[in-house]
Amino acid sequence: MSTVQPPSPGSGDDREMSRVRIIKAAAEIAAEQGFEGTTISKVTKRSGLPASSVYWFFRDKDHLLAEVVRHSFEQWIAAEPRWERDPRDERSLAEGLRAILSRSTRGLPGAPDFLRIGHMLLLESREAEARQYFLATRDAVASSIAAWFTSYFSTELRARRPELAMDLARIVIASTDGLFLAHQIDEAGDPDDFITIIVAIVEQAVAG
């Protein structure tokens, strides 16, 4: 039996504009009211588009919020410094880490939707699609950071402490999570002080 498709919301650029409008509306509502408070009816009201347009792009609320997280993450990661070390880069680990963190922490006050919504979903027990996507992105970022750290390690250190790079990656992510939350409650201090502390922790861990 064939499934009846809702009418198309347009074509080409118009269709993409409608899709982004829906995603932005859902992101705003989720940030204000959480997963439970986000409904298709509220999204249609805020976006100004009918439910048929929402269901043209997204099969249900769970799929929509997963796309909110994905869309926000892709925008955020495109503007972030890459955790990739140029072989010609002669800076020390501390200098390289400070340079990356100085750039990456700038975007935290803007509260990317994927961070805001992702953290809310992590605190819920539901196995939402958006939660799984958020966890997958964190794993991917952690792997990139760990590889960056490993590029500074000697062969002896890699063999003696094989888990060190991933441990340091988790410390960086957990620390930036804390800074992000501090920004949300207006308690963030000087980011340079934050970076100095993280660099000191990493240097001590590597030297230990």
* 156-200 confidence digits (pLDDT tens): 999 999 999 999 999 999 998 888 888 777 766 678 888 999 999
For 72-96, the pLDDT digits (tens) are 888 888 888 889 988 888 899 999 9
pLDDT of residue 185: 79
The backbone region for 60, taken as left when phi is positive above 0, alpha when psi lies in -120 to 50, beta otherwise, is beta
pLDDT for 126 equals 67
- pTM for this model (two decimals): 0.81
For 114-159, the pLDDT digits (tens) are 788 888 888 776 678 888 888 899 999 999 999 999 999 999 999 9
CA 87 to chain centre: 27
Assess whether pLDDT exceeds 50 at residue 3.
no
User: According to the model, what pLDDT value does residue 33 have?
Assistant: 85
Spatial separation of the C-alpha atoms in residues 208 and 156, rounded to whole Å: 13
Phi and psi, residue 23, nearest 5° = -60, -45
Residue at 124: amino acid letter: E
Closest by CA to 29, choosing from 18, 21, 39, is 39
Q: Nearest CA to 205 among 163, 158, 154, 168?
A: 168
Q: What is residue 105's predicted lDDT score, i.e. its pLDDT? A: 81
Residue 111 scores a pLDDT above 50: yes
Q: Give me the pLDDT at residue 1, please.
A: 41
Separation of alpha carbons 78 and 206, rounded Å: 30
6-45 residue pLDDT tens: 555 555 568 889 999 999 999 999 888 888 889 999 999 9
Residue 2 has pLDDT above 70, yes or no: no
133-136-140 Cα angle (round to 5) = 140
